[in-house]
Homo-oligomer: A and B are copies of this chain.
Amino acid sequence: MPYTDAAAAKKLLDARPNADAIVTALKNLAIETPSWGYADTGTRFGKFHQPACARTMKEKLEDAGVVHKYAGICPTVATHVLWDFPNGPDATVIDYAKKCGIEIGAINPNVFQDQCYKFGSFGNPNETSRKQAVQHCLDCVELGKTMQSKYLSLWFADGTNYPGQDSIRARKHRFTEALKKVYAAMPTSMTMLIEYKPFEPAFYHTDIADWGMAYIFAKQAGPNAKVLVDTGHHYLSQNIEQIVAWLLDEDMLGGFHFNDRRYADDDLTLGSIDPYQIFRIFNEIISFEQERGKPATIAYMVDQSHCIKPKIEAMLQTVDITHQLFAKALLVDRKALRDAQARTDVVGAEETLRGAFLTDTRPLIGYVRQQMGLAPDALAEYRTSGHEARIAKEREAQHGSPSDAAYA
């Protein structure tokens, strides 16, 4: 019901002088979903299989298309090269994506799964492993050109498990060299995103542990290298929105991997544990954009592992709460906030910000969706469509059950 409460939406917009800009921003928000978010994923303790999960690249594209069809703001899909293009570039993929109503987004190399990466990829003391990793990334640049992708999105599982295992500084130097090689091969239309993560799967040290390290590597690589913020890749209690604010101010924010977590890199759906934090991140971005008077170039991407939720539902749910929280950030009264800040009115400033968070934006999202020709409550609409049961049946018929030994 909240999504169809047109009166509430009207009241919200009527009260704002920039109502049109708000609606436009909500229509233009673009969130990329990941191809691997439609396949079965699990934890190190096992994987629970879903009959409706996508087994092929085509099915992943179809699922991404379905999400965009309902949510209206997911026009691209990120690809994971090793899993999506096991046989190299595939020209038919672009066409099939178009057929599904979407385009190919970021290219994600995989330099962690092959046995040669046991001791790392770009940081590996073994030169052969390093070369293989660099070559794979160069291949990904080529693939990205073919796919007309704007982003080469780099995450490294590199690190060590034990003190003394390798030289932290030597690995840093190897990384610098390899990143420069890959950067040199990129067309100017491509941006390199460098992701950081303080733990897992390397446990004692990870080679790009925090935003400061990603920042230095990006600066060394070149102007088209930026930092990628994965919301689950931080120490407990770390203030992520401050990092976002700094990266924006330094012109070094490239994009996001969205997910939520309680303890580690839990890869839960965004906003499921701490929605106020995600709102504050958006608040920093919108505050920056409104000051500059133009949008920042930021790749919003989802990176989640739906271990027990149905994949498409989980993605729609994610996109929905993201849309809501983004809307809340758009509703912040910037002038009132600045004024309260200037007079050090702590309570007044906080109430101004939190008041926007406390506002129910579901009616607004419903209104915007209707303006876009969509159903106001995307998730509910999908859940009643019968699509999930249909593809489960079709895919089982085609591939067999995912719990079959042969499939696993």
Contact = CB atoms under 8 A, between A and B. Distances in A.
A56 interface: no
Interface string A243-286: 00110111000000000011110101100111111001000100
Nearest to A170: B341
A346 interface: yes
A91 to B, nearest CB: 28
19 contacts: A2-B355, A46-B201, A118-B308, A125-B342, A163-B276, A166-B349, A168-B242, A169-B246, A169-B284, A170-B341, A204-B262, A205-B239, A210-B212, A237-B262, A264-B264, A274-B276, A313-B347, A321-B354, A324-B358
Given A235-B236, A276-B276, 13 more contacts: A2-B358, A44-B201, A44-B305, A119-B308, A125-B341, A125-B342, A126-B344, A161-B307, A199-B266, A203-B263, A274-B274, A274-B277, A310-B347
A359 B237 CA distance: 27
B241 A168 contact: yes
Interface in A282-305: 284, 287-288, 305
Interface string A130-157: 0000000000000000000000000001
Contacts of A112: 45-46
Contact of A198 (B250, B263, B276, B355): B263
B263 A199 contact: yes
Chain B CB count within 10 A is highest, among A119, A203, A348, A383, for: A203
Contacts of A277: 274
The complex is assembled from copies of this chain, and their number is 4
Contact size range, A? 35 or more
B350 A43 contact: no
A212 B215 contact: yes
A371 interface: no
Nearest to A320: B351
B164 A309 contact: no
A174 B371 CA distance: 43
B354 A268 contact: no
